[in-house]
Amino acid sequence: MNSLSQDIKTLLNLAWPVVISRVGILTLGITDTVMVGRYASEHLAYLGIGMVPSNIFILIMIGLLMGTSVLVSNRFGAKQYDKTGDVLWQALPWGFGIGLIGFLLCYFGEFWLLLTGQDPELAAKGGRISIIAGLSLPLAALHMTTGFFLEGIRNPRPGMVIMIVANIVNIFANYVLVYGLYGLPELGAEGSIWATFIVRCMQVVAIFSYVWLFIDHAKYGLTKPKITWRKGRELRRIGYASGLSMGLENGAFNALVLFAGFLGTAAVAAHVIMINVFAVFFMMGLGFGVATAVSVGNANGAGDLRLVSRWAWLGLSVQSVVMLVAGALMFITAQQAGAFFSNDPAVFNLAAALIAWVSIALVFDTGQSLLAMALRARGDNWAPTFIHFIAYGVVMIPLAYIMIFPLGRGAMGLADGVILGTLVPFVMVIWRYRQLDRRGQLVPTATD
């Protein structure tokens, strides 16, 4: 019993700064949504549709960089501290290059939106949003990569502090740029995305400064960078599987935004609100997922199969309890949440109905994310990708389309798709992890 309570305490000590940091990522977007939603409902639709290209890419980018977290945590667990910095040096140029590719894709945002059949005016307005959002992607990649490194060495608090400050700056920048204060132009939805760019610049400067000033360069092997394409092979190998997996997941969620676009601007705005509220609660669960994956990665690096199993199921249990409470809170406060984001009755009433219904999916989505990350931390890279292909490509998108259009569920079909599309991977990742546990399978880590 003492061992269990100590493990829970250890997990929570690692999890709570990550929870705040991950929720902080979403509150940046929530600030944008609230400011723009209260400015004008049509601008909220421009924002929601315009962020689709960058939103799809940013999760692919996170996945491509996930090897940083896996390799750093493995090497930290193996007590090869001096090899963790080498992972960071390989990851930074890799991440920046990925961010540049993301910008190029976002530059043609209007083209992609028109290709999906969106209204030309909505696509044009959204296309401008997409270009500005793309500018932030290389900066986001640098910040994320360095944050993964710090989390992998079990030092997540600097990222938490930086995220808190970033949210304060973002509120002020949004207020000034959306509404046009202090002699600046009134930019509406575009102003909120310029505010994001300013915040991204600040985050990169802050986290680089912390690593430069406060991390022991000799201990973590940061003093002599040796950046080569060959040395980053394992980093990329992990990233390809994770990037494809996250691309499938985020692509499916953003396909729902496109489905909403066919239902009108009120449906788009309500869906954006639903996803923002759901994402805040999801990020709380994701914090436990990151803490669990780091702990599994440390155990895998140390070659301890018992702890590889123990940390995963302990993390899932603690997370599920928290998410059941969070889901109930999400259901109870659905009406207030909808009204918080918009003062248009047609929008906030529909948003409230969607929020209440989709709260069912919270335990499923956070649980499947936790175990997918834990699988990768123990070296099982491609199984979660296959599971996500089935869940999102075969289940979520087709069933959501059927619910929305042929079955006439309309906007409520958007929430139906989320529920069904998260239940399937939740069941499948549990089965996969139990399968590996029964086999006693431990994948050797690349620590050399």
- Position 225 pLDDT exceeds 60: yes
Which of 48, 61, 436 minimizes the C-alpha distance to 246?
61
Q: Which residue has the higher pLDDT, 88 or 245?
A: 88
Rg from Cα positions in the chain: 21
Mean pLDDT score, 164-178: 92
Residue appearing with tokens 């140390």? 302
Please state, in angstroms and rounded to a whole number, the distance separating the CA atoms of residues 10 and 246.
28
Mean pLDDT score, 174-199: 87
- Position 41 pLDDT exceeds 80: no
Per-residue HEC secondary structure of the chain comes to CHHHHHHHHHHHHHHHHHHHHHHHHHHHHHHHHHHHHHHCHHHHHHHHHHCHHHHHHHHHHHHHCHHHHHHHHHHHHCCCHHHHHHHHHHHHHHHHHHHHHHHHHHHCHHHHHHHCCCCHHHHHHHHHHHHHHHHCHHHHHHHHHHHHHHHHCCCCHHHHHHHHHHHHHHHHHHHHHHHCCCCCCCCCHHHHHHHHHHHHHHHHHHHHHHHHHHCCCCCCCCCCCCCCCCCCHHHHHHHHHHHHHHHHHHHHHHHHHHHHHCCCHHHHHHHHHHHHHHHHHHHHHHHHHHHHHHHHHHHHHCCCHHHHHHHHHHHHHHHHHHHHHHHHHHHHCHHHHHHHHCCCHHHHHHHHHHHHHHHHHHHHHHHHHHHHHHHHHCCCCHHHHHHHHHHHHHHHHHHHHHHHCCCCCCCHHHHHHHHHHHHHHHHHHHHHHHHHHHHCCCCCCCCC
**Residue 447: per-residue pLDDT:** 44
The whole-model pTM stands at 0.83
Mean pLDDT score, 414-437: 93
**Residue 365: per-residue pLDDT:** 95
Q: Write out the two tokens for 120.
A: 């030309």
Please state, in angstroms and rounded to a whole number, the distance separating the CA atoms of residues 145 and 140.
9
**Residue 2: per-residue pLDDT:** 58
Mean pLDDT score, 69-75: 92
Per domain, the residue ranges of the chain are 2-439
Tell me the per-residue pLDDT of 81-94, one tens digit each, with 9 for 90 and over. Answer: 999 999 999 999 99
Please state, in angstroms and rounded to a whole number, the distance separating the CA atoms of residues 327 and 304.
34
- Position 118 pLDDT exceeds 80: no
Please state, in angstroms and rounded to a whole number, the distance separating the CA atoms of residues 77 and 293.
12
Which of 322, 243, 209 minimizes the C-alpha distance to 70?
243
**Residue 351: per-residue pLDDT:** 93
pLDDT level of residue 59 (50, 70, 90 thresholds): confident
Please state, in angstroms and rounded to a whole number, the distance separating the CA atoms of residues 272 and 341.
10
**Residue 296: per-residue pLDDT:** 94
Which of 158, 142, 60 minimizes the C-alpha distance to 97?
142
The per-type count for the chain, helices as H runs and strands as E runs, is 19, 0
Which of 48, 94, 101, 44 minimizes the C-alpha distance to 346?
44
Please state, in angstroms and rounded to a whole number, the distance separating the CA atoms of residues 288 and 297.
14
Tell me the per-residue pLDDT of 344-389, one tens digit each, with 9 for 90 and over. Answer: 888 889 999 999 999 999 999 999 999 999 999 998 989 999 999 9
Mean pLDDT of the residues in the chain:
88
Q: Write out the two tokens for 80.
A: 């090869």
**Contact predicate 300/446, CB 8 Å:** no
What is the number of other CB atoms lying within 10 angstroms of the CB of residue 448? 7
pLDDT level of residue 47 (50, 70, 90 thresholds): confident
Tell me the per-residue pLDDT of 137-152, one tens digit each, with 9 for 90 and over. Answer: 999 999 999 999 999 9
**Contact predicate 15/288, CB 8 Å:** yes
Q: Is the dihedral of CA 224, 225, 229, 234 positive or negative?
A: positive
**Residue 448: per-residue pLDDT:** 45
- Position 124 pLDDT exceeds 90: no
**Residue 441: per-residue pLDDT:** 61
Per-residue HEC secondary structure of 149-184 comes to HHHHCCCCHHHHHHHHHHHHHHHHHHHHHHHCCCCC
**Residue 131: per-residue pLDDT:** 93
Secondary structure element (H or E) that encloses residue 259, with its range: helix 233-261
